[in-house]
Amino acid sequence: MAAKTQVHRSKTLDEIRADLSEEMDRLGSGEVTPAIANARVNLIAAHLRTYKLQIDYARLVGKTPNIPMLLAVTEETDA
């Protein structure tokens, strides 16, 4: 039986904010421990740092980074 390949979709900034807010709610209600909440928040922060690295690199080489999350924000603000 072959393993299924998951397709990953980048989240928008609003979705990331919602995830962080939900994590804080779970922490406040005691649904998760501070250690688990901290680990999840650190994982989100690590993902955001990779976006920053991609943006910084693109700036250095004079290109536009291809980050769908940022394109979604641009489209929302242009409306």
- The three-point CA angle 49-21-17 to 5° equals 40
pLDDT of residue 9: 73
Tens-digit pLDDT profile for residues 34-66: 999 999 999 989 988 988 999 999 999 999 888
* Domain edges within the chain: 13-78
Distance CA(4)–CA(15), nearest Å, equals 25
Distance CA(62)–CA(45), nearest Å, equals 26
What pTM did the predictor assign? 0.65
Distance CA(77)–CA(57), nearest Å, equals 24
Confidence of residue 72 (pLDDT cuts 50, 70, 90): low
